[in-house]
Chains A and B, each alone.
Chain A
Amino acid sequence: MKQMPKEYYELLEKLQAVDFALVELTLYLDTHPNDYQAIQQFNQLAQQRKHLKKQYETAYGPLQQYGNSYSNYPWNWNDTPWPWQV
């Protein structure tokens, strides 16, 4: 297991928490498409997520590729740790 700093786990968990709410709201909205409040909450969280993604990627590298994240030089998508290594 690669030893990552405490801050890594904290930031990762923050991202996982927001993403969980977004997954949950996505499934909910799939069957409740007219819930205005839920959509408002969804869009707020989506915005919050964008900031967290940027923060995470600046510190620990790209979360996605195929152009959904920027790359450092050299190409850092292959860098460990992969999710099962932390």
Chain B
Amino acid sequence: MWIYEKKLQYPVRVSTCNPKLAKYLIEQYGGADGELAAALRYLNQRYSIPDKVIGLLTDIGTEELAHLEMIATMVYKLTKDATPEQLKEAGLDAHYVNHDRALFYHNAAGVPWTATYIQAKGDPIADLYEDIAAEEKARATYQWIINMSDDPDLNDGLRFLREREIIHAQRFREAVEILKEERDRKKFF
């Protein structure tokens, strides 16, 4: 089971109301390489992966849920005081019509999240390679968002998230090596 903790993993601050940045950030909420996709991808792969890496998938999957909450907090803080006019200017008019200021799992272009963003091949090496690629893509996305952002407070949180992607990718690479070592030691039938 999971137990919620009433705090963010890392402080989230924003300098000003800025719905345009929220529009970019939503990519990491409901996009293909976003935090929701990451959490669901890893937590779902756990059941059929070799025992040696179940702990890692559990722990990284759980951390992704904490990142999802950080992104949600960023989007919430960037939009909560925005007028409909400001939302329209930021290109969030269609979002506003459908959701007001509620968050929704879609990407920066408004495409709703879909399970087809994640894979579960049942082949441990294939699954872990997908995970490494997902982390690298998420890292790149954070960099593109930082490049688009002029909010130093927001960027502090985004840099933290970008660094976490690097660590996760590193740990997944080590998991691949652990499985290869096991494979080479074991006899297969």
Contacts and interface: CB of A to CB of B under 8 A. Distances in A.
Partners in one complex: yes
Interface of A: 9, 12-13, 15-16, 19-20, 23-24, 26-28, 30-32, 61-66, 68, 82-84
Closest 9 CB pairs of A and B: A84-B73, A31-B174, A30-B56, A83-B8, A30-B55, A27-B171, A84-B76, A63-B6, A64-B3
A19 B175 CA distance: 23
B59 interface: yes
Q: Is the interface of A mostly helix, strand, loop or mixed?
A: helix
Contacts of A65: 3-4
Given A26-B59, A27-B60, A84 B5 contact: no
A83 B8 CA distance: 6
A27 B56 contact: yes
Nearest to A82: B6
A16 B8 contact: yes
A20 B9 contact: yes
Nearest to B81: A1
A84 B7 contact: no
Contacts of B5: 63-64
11 contacts: A16-B7, A16-B8, A23-B9, A23-B63, A27-B56, A31-B56, A32-B174, A62-B6, A64-B4, A83-B8, A83-B69
A31 B178 contact: yes
Interface residues of B, number: 27
Given A31-B171, A64-B6, A83-B69, 7 more contacts: A16-B8, A16-B11, A27-B167, A28-B171, A64-B4, A65-B4, A84-B69
B9 A19 contact: yes
Contact of A13 (B11, B73, B167): B11
Contacts of B60: 27
A84 to B, nearest CB: 4
B96 interface: no
Contacts of A27: 56, 59-60, 63, 167-168, 171
A83 B9 CA distance: 10
Contacts of B8: 16, 83-84
B72 interface: yes
B7 A83 contact: yes
B77 interface: yes
Contacts of A68: 3
Interface string B148-189: 000000000000000000011001001100100000000000
B10 interface: yes
